[in-house]
Structure 1
Amino acid sequence: MTITNGEDELQDQFNQWRAYVRRRPELVASDAEELEDHLRGSVDELVALGLNADEAFLIAVKRMGGLDDLSREFAREHSERLWKQLMLTGEPGDEAKTSRSRRDLVAMLVCAAGAAISIKVPELFGKRYDDSGMFYALNMTLFALPWLAGFLAWRRQAGPRWYGVLAALFVVGAVVANAYPMSEDSKSVGVVATHLPLALWLVVGLAYVSDDLRSSRRRMDFIRFSGEWFVYLVLIGLGGSVLIAFLYGIFNAIDVYPDEFIWNWLTPCGLVASMVVGGWLVEAKQGVIENIAPVLTRLFTPLFTLALLAFLVTIGWNGSGIEVNRQTLVLFDMLLVVVLGLMLYSLSARDPQAPRGPFDVLQLALVVSALVIDALVLYTMTGRIAEYGTTPNNVAALGENIVLLANLTWSAWLLLLFVRRRGGFAAIERWQTAYLPVYAAWLWAVVLILPPVFGYR
């Protein structure tokens, strides 16, 4: 009876290992079976030497090396397969994965087409894309992000309640963008136009984590998804720019000028559809090209750290203060966002079990230098607001500054504990994912409350 229980426990361990391996897109079913045969052989040899099943399993897995190392080795030995994974077809012999990829492709095409059609619907009511005005500036993401959220919720097999929650939040965004009585020259328009897309992006995040809303890991996955999605979107935009340049050139050569098609059809439809396509690419190619954003952080973290330290040294040398106005405050808000992004994507790519190293110290220096600079900016900006009064813009910028400052301040403390070996890495990651609702609450407060508080001016 004891042997049977031991065999059952060992089989459970093999089942868990197999499920973990098969989540790696580099390894198709035949690879997983080959690795499992090798693992079972190693376990049998160790058991024959006198070890119990649990000990043999752990030692055999350790001997095989980390799964990421195995993935990299397979990528080197099967480079042709790696490139095939960037295409639409799956690996022969893995019918389940191929079938799921095809379903995802069809769903993405439907959602991308829906986004492209949505942005042309306002023309039925006299709202042309090339018209001046704030309509498309306020509504652009409302034509694309609901479709992206729908695609992600479909992939997560979300229930009807989730679709209802997502739809309700997007409707609230649409009401703010179109029903608030804001004139085109009001400051409230700018506040809504810049904050509503961010608030709606966090609604996309709800769709992303709909399979496990409370999971810190899933929230960190969404942070990774956001960075990779942005990178893909930039690459698609660069490719689209080349396409437009070629269209101009080749059609102009035959005295045909495709301006109408390019600016009223290709550009708006391509823009919103690419937001859906970018999300599909990140989902489909995880594990193949999933580390672009973290790699970029490794390059830019030292550069930004040096730049900020040089700025602080210059302030101390010259003895001159920072001249702060609304534009400067927005610039320093963006600085905090960049520093936060560099930290987040470094965290997302880091092995949680790895000991602290020089790069962690560098990150701490980056965060602390940003905090010192921002403290100087806030000191000056608070005096200006007290002297000249408040506007929707400076209240929004000041609030975002404080929200980001609170996050980075506690992050710096946790990083300091980690660097001094008095705290764990997991605490830093948990803090970042737990703080996401704070961003959502502030963004929606800016969008829903600030315009009426300031009389929509």
Structure 2
Amino acid sequence: MTDGRDELEAQFAQWRHYVRRRRELRSTDVEELEDHLRGSVDELVAAGLHADEAFLVAVKRMGSLDDLSREFAREHSERLWKQLVLTGGGDGPATGGRSRRDLLTMVLCAAGAAASIKAPGLFGLHLDQDEAFYVPNAALFALPWLAAFLALRRRASKPVVGVLVAMFALGAVAANAYPLSTESQSLVLTSIHLPIALWFAVGLAYVSDDPRSARRRMDFIRFTGEWFVYYVLIALGGGVLIAFTFGTFEAIGVSPEGFVSEWLLPCGAVAAVVVAGWLVEAKQSVVENIAPVLTRLFTPLFTAALLAFLVTLVLTGDGIDVEREVLILFDLLLVVVLGLLLYSTSARDPLAPPGLFDRLQLALVAAALAIDVVVLVEITGRITEYGTTPNKAAALGENVVLLVNLAWSAWLVLGLVRRRAPFAALERWQTSYLPVFAVWAWVVVLVFPPVFGHL
């Protein structure tokens, strides 16, 4: 029964992947069509058809997808040539109203983020002098506003809004309640893990229209990758803007350094978090073609780099230095590998036969798994010999969390390559494991400082 359901979900995923390539259909249109298709399938299954037969019949009943797309194109013809325009004057009233409402909401939330990072200045705090305050609170200046934009766009229920407010309030307490000095390891750990914990709060806002849906969690994975691409592009454009600002004002004998460092850079950095989220929501079809390309480009490169590292490690026989900077580097490396796996999973055609790229992924995950084991052995040995510190304890826990994910992912990818496991099993595992990362991040932020005496 489970296998049949997995196969049906894989068919839905393939249909959804195909439909989303049609630029004339927005994500809301796709969701509406999928709801209609699922309802039809459920009726046919209840009537006695097998799941795969019901899917084929339901698709036939909906008519040709090309005809359906053309019907949508006729109803919303402005979308075909105004897709990259911020607001469309000729859009239909519902579509145009939604676009303008989203734009206004984004502007207000981005302005709120910019005001948030300047508000501490009213109490005598300055970016260049009070790092112990600004560094752990950095995520709290931007992510609540991104979550607010998404929650408003999804029309989140009051219970979900209450949970979001509680999570961000808890994050504010974690960032400010403990007496952490600028030399404290716990301050660094909080500064790294709190944004991760709060990003999952953003994820709750993203899936607030259907919090229990595995499909929506996978959509959030896509959103994360696309948001990162847009944010980097905005940051690059911001760098060009700053360079021109310096050049033009200094040409007339005026130094804009104070304005750039105190206003333009901090306000622009936090506002761009909201703007990037809005761009992903508004222009999904543009970036959905970029992120999978980046994944396919970097997967073989990272695979080669990790395999080369393992070969060198074996030949030299040297151990891994487990100082703080090195631990952070290896954890980031494993997170990048996991990100490549997650995003390639979200972009893969679920019914496509296993190919060379799947084998590359298996090699990548296996190499990352081997490195994770080596790092765990080194950390455990150092803790046994010299005792534990917040950095080593956090690295140990993170590597264990990643080890479990990578180990089972490797097994599922191996099953996929050998045609013994469906792709849906890998997709379901990744979306189900996401809360584990969130829980661990909250543990580091809330539990580590008092346990280690705010060291």
Q: TM-score, normalised by structure 1?
A: 0.83
* 1:401 matches 2:395: no
Deviation at 1:335, TM superposition (A): 1.4
| Structure 2 equivalent of residue 364 of structure 1 | 362
Amino acid at match of 1:355: P
What is the Cα deviation at residue 162 of structure 1?
1.6
- 1:182 pairs with 2:180: yes
Q: Which residue of 2 aligns with 1:256?
A: 254
- What does residue 162 of structure 1 align with? 160
Change (3 A) 1:394 1:103: same
- How do 1:319-330 residues align onto structure 2 when only pairs under 5 Å count? 319-330=317-328
- Separation (CA, whole Å) in 2 of partners of 1:198 and 1:151: 19
Aligned pair in 2 of structure 1 residues 412, 55: CA closer, same or farther (>3 Å)?
closer
- TM-fit CA distance, 1:325: 3.0
Q: Distance in 2 between matches of 1:233 and 1:66?
A: 36
* 1:41-79 CA distance string (max 9 Å, x none): xxxxxxxxxxxxx98985697876799xx79xx9xxx9x
Q: In the alignment, which residue of structure 1 is the partner of 2:296?
A: 298
Aligned residue pair count: 408
Contact 1:81 1:91 in 2 (8 A): no
Partner residue of 1:191? 189
Q: Which residue of 1 aligns with 2:7?
A: none
Judged with a 3 Å threshold, the aligned counterparts in structure 2 of structure 1 residues 377 and 289 are, in CA distance, closer, same or farther, namely closer
In 2, the alpha carbon distance for the partners of 1:440 and 1:223 equals 14
In 2: Cα distance, 1:300 partner to 1:147 partner: 31
Over 3 Å counting, the alpha-carbon distance change for 1:92 and 1:157 in structure 2 is same
Matched with 1:314 is 312
Asked whether 1:456 is paired with 2:454, we answer yes
Deviation readout 1:155-175 (Å, 9 max, x if unpaired) = 111122221111111111111
Answer yes or no: is the 8 Å Cα contact 1:233–1:274 preserved in 2: yes
Q: Is residue 141 of structure 2 the alignment partner of residue 143 of structure 1?
A: yes
Counterpart Cα distance in 2 of 1:441 and 1:358: 35
Q: Which moved more, 1:226-235 or 1:57-66?
A: 57-66
Measured after TM superposition, the shift of residue 229 of structure 1 is 0.7
Q: Which of 117, 126, 133 pairs up with 2:115?
A: 117
User: Offset of 1:326 from its aligned partner?
Assistant: 3.1
Question: What is the aligned partner in structure 2 of residue 40 from structure 1?
Answer: none
Question: What are the ranges of 5 or more consecutive residues in structure 2 without an aligned counterpart?
Answer: 1-14, 31-54
Unaligned runs of 5+ in 1: 1-16, 33-53
Q: 1:201-237: CA deviations, max 9, x gaps?
A: 1111110111111100000111110111111111111
For residues 228-307 of structure 1, what are the structure 2 equivalents within 5 Å?
228-307=226-305
CA contact (8 A) 2:23 2:80 kept: no
Shift of 1:132: 4.2
Letter in 1 for 2:353: P
Q: Determine the C-alpha separation between the residues in 2 that align with 1:329 and 1:196.
A: 18
Q: Pick one of 113, 124, 132 that aligns with 1:134.
A: 132
Q: 1:55/1:207 Cα in 2 relative to 1: closer, same or farther (>3 Å)? A: closer
Q: Which residue of 1 is the match for residue 441 of structure 2?
A: 443
Q: Decide whether the 8 Å contact of 2:189 with 2:391 is kept in 1.
A: yes
Deviation at 1:287, TM superposition (A): 1.8
- Whether the 8 Å CA contact 1:130–1:263 is kept in 2: the answer is no
For 1:333 and 1:343, locate their aligned partners in 2 and report how far apart those are by CA, in whole Å. Answer: 15
Q: Is the 8 A contact 1:85 1:288 kept in 2?
A: no
Partner Cα distance (2:156, 2:56) in 1? 40
Structure 2 counterpart SS, 1:287: helix
Distance between the aligned counterparts of 1:236 and 1:265, measured in 2? 17
Moved more, 58-67 or 332-341: 58-67
- 2:284 is paired with a residue whose SS is coil
- The alpha carbon displacement at 1:87 in A equals 1.6
Cα deviation digits, residues 337-393 of structure 1 (max 9, x gap): 011011111111111111111111110011001111221222122111111111111
Contact 1:291–1:349 at 8 Å: present in 2 too? no
Match of 1:42 in 2: none
Q: Distance in 1 between matches of 2:270 and 2:60?
A: 51
| AA aligned opposite 1:229 | W
Cα drift, residue 313 of structure 1 = 2.3
Q: Distance in 2 between matches of 1:55 and 1:190?
A: 54
- Matches of 1:176 and 1:57 in 2, distance apart? 51
* Change in 2 beyond 3 A, CA 1:88/1:383: same
Give SS of 2:128's match.
Answer: coil
Residue 299 of structure 2 contacts residue 361 of structure 2 at CA under 8 Å; is this kept in 1? yes
> In structure 2, what is the Cα distance between the partners aligned to 1:235 and 1:351?
27
TM-score, length-scaled by structure 2: 0.84
Letter in 2 for 1:150: A
The reply to whether residue 221 of structure 1 matches residue 227 of structure 2 is: no
Q: Quote the offset at 1:129 in angstroms.
A: 2.2
Q: Does 1:89 align with 2:92?
A: no
Cα deviation, 1:249-297, whole Å, max 9, x if unaligned, reads: 1000111111221111111111111101010000011123223222101
Q: CA RMSD in A?
A: 2.7
* Secondary structure of residue in 1 paired with 2:181: coil
2:413 pairs with one of 412, 415, 440: 415
Q: Which residue of 2 aligns with 1:4?
A: none
Alpha carbons of structure 1 residues 23 and 415: separation in structure 2 relative to 1, 3 Å: closer
8 Å contact from structure 1 (residues 220, 433) kept in 2? yes
